[in-house]
């Protein structure tokens, strides 16, 4: 009997309930309890959940859930403030640990990374990944195995928690064909609704849809791209190049709704000035500004415009952001404002 063939695999590593798990490591008394992390940790304030432990998710509390809603669903939950510095420090240990395995590691955020692996037994390697991370940090992870990044990423969700799952060309449609397009990495609820209007309700149907039909509704580039990912096609490589931010943003949730235009505009200008400080720190000028408005109770809209000449100029940036306020509905109460500045590429 011939030995298994060594070949290239893509593994996607995703830390299970990462932020909540870090908090449990810091305070073992939280183990087994519903833990909700978000905002300043005060469920009487406006804010959203950053992450929730699996015990809290059983009550329908997930990332993005308003904190007040979480408190109503789980009155005895433990609410904690976001501690980005602590999570970043633990994440650095995780990524350094993955690099000790002698493979290419592409960091995707605090809690996930892609690995480019040459092996004849990807499941065994995935087990090594899990055990190595657990030994180094006390954190569990799930590992998706794929023949490209798209399939590996989706496989991770199919194996959670603490699981290993393989998704390749061979079993793609058997596993994914009957699922909603929302199961694909890159398709959200809004796009799924547009697809449903075309009579497309499954990954299989999307994979078989004519590019021309999709392009007419979803755009000449995005329409055919959705069909490609429905077929599991992804040619992007795993890269160890450091991640480079394309933009910086700041946002504020107000405890009392804003109702007058001058106040809204002034807050936008202040946010723009704060983001300007972030891009100055990177020495990359602004090339586009976007303003985000969330109306009460929870309806979000954005508006964007290019900045003709890349700039750090405070007046140009603030004036551009303020000008975008005119595009929104001034008759509605505002609960959140945000400003994002896209930066010129690094030189």
Q: Could you give the CA distance from residue 98 to residue 130 in angstroms, rounded to a whole number? A: 10
Residue 112 falls in the annotated catalytic set:
yes
Buried b (16+ CB within 10 A) or exposed e, 86-118: ebeebbeebbebbeeeebbbbbbebbbbbbbbe
| H or E stretch at 335 | strand 334-343
Which of 200, 241, 199 is CA-nearest to residue 107?
241
Evaluate whether 181 touches 202 at the Cβ level (below 8 Å).
yes
3-state DSSP assignment of residue 108: coil
Length of the chain: 347
Evaluate whether 338 touches 268 at the Cβ level (below 8 Å).
no
Q: Could you give the CA distance from residue 123 to residue 154 in angstroms, rounded to a whole number? A: 16
Q: Which of 55, 106, 112, 342 is catalytic?
A: 112
Q: Could you give the CA distance from residue 63 to residue 86 in angstroms, rounded to a whole number? A: 19
User: DSSP alpha helices (H): ranges in the chain?
Assistant: 18-26, 54-57, 67-73, 84-99, 122-137, 149-159, 172-176, 189-197, 203-208, 211-218, 222-230, 261-282, 314-325
Evaluate whether 293 touches 258 at the Cβ level (below 8 Å).
no
Peptide bond into 161 cis (omega under 30): yes
Distance spanning both ends of the chain, measured CA to CA: 54
Which of 196, 210, 195, 146 is CA-nearest to residue 172?
146
Per the structure block, which two tokens stand in for 9? 């695999």
Buried b (16+ CB within 10 A) or exposed e, 265-281: bebbbbbbeebbebbee
- Return the active site residues: 112
């Amino acid at each position: 009997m011939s030995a298994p063939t060594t070949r290239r695999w893509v593994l996607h590593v995703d830390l299970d309930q990462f932020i909540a798990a870090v908090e449990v490591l810091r305070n073992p008394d939280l183990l087994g309890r519903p833990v909700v992390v978000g905002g300043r940790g005060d469920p009487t304030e406006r804010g959203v959940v950053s992450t929730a432990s699996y015990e809290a998710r059983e009550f329908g509390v997930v990332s993005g859930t308003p904190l007040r809603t979480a408190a109503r669903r789980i009155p005895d939950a433990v609410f904690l403030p976001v501690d980005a510095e602590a999570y970043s420090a633990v994440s650095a240990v995780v990524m350094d640990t993955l690099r000790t395995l002698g493979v290419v590691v592409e960091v995707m955020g605090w809690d996930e990374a892609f690995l480019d692996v040459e092996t004849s037994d990807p499941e065994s390697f995935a087990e090594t990944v899990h055990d190595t991370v657990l030994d180094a940090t006390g954190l569990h992870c799930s590992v998706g195995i794929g023949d490209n990044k798209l399939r590996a990423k989706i496989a991770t969700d199919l194996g959670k928690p603490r699981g290993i799952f393989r998704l390749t060309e061979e079993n793609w449609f058997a596993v994914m064909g009957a699922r909603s397009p929302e199961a694909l990495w890159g398709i959200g609820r809004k796009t799924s609704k547009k697809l449903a209007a075309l009579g497309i309700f499954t990954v299989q149907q999307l994979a078989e849809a004519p590019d021309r039909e999709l392009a007419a509704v979803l755009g000449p580039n995005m329409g055919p791209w959705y069909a490609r990912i429905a077929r599991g096609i992804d040619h992007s490589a795993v890269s160890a190049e450091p991640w480079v931010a394309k933009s910086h943003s700041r946002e504020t949730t107000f405890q009392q709704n804003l109702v007058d235009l001058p106040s809204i505009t002034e807050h936008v200008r202040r946010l723009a000035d704060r983001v300007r400080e972030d891009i100055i720190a990177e020495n990359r000028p602004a090339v586009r500004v976007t303003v985000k408005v969330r109306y009460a109770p929870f309806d979000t809209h954005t508006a964007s415009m290019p900045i003709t000449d890349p700039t750090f100029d405070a007046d140009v940036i603030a004036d551009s952001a303020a000008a975008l306020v005119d595009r929104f509905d001034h008759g509605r109460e505002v609960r959140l404002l945000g400003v994002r500045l896209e930066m010129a590429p690094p030189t």
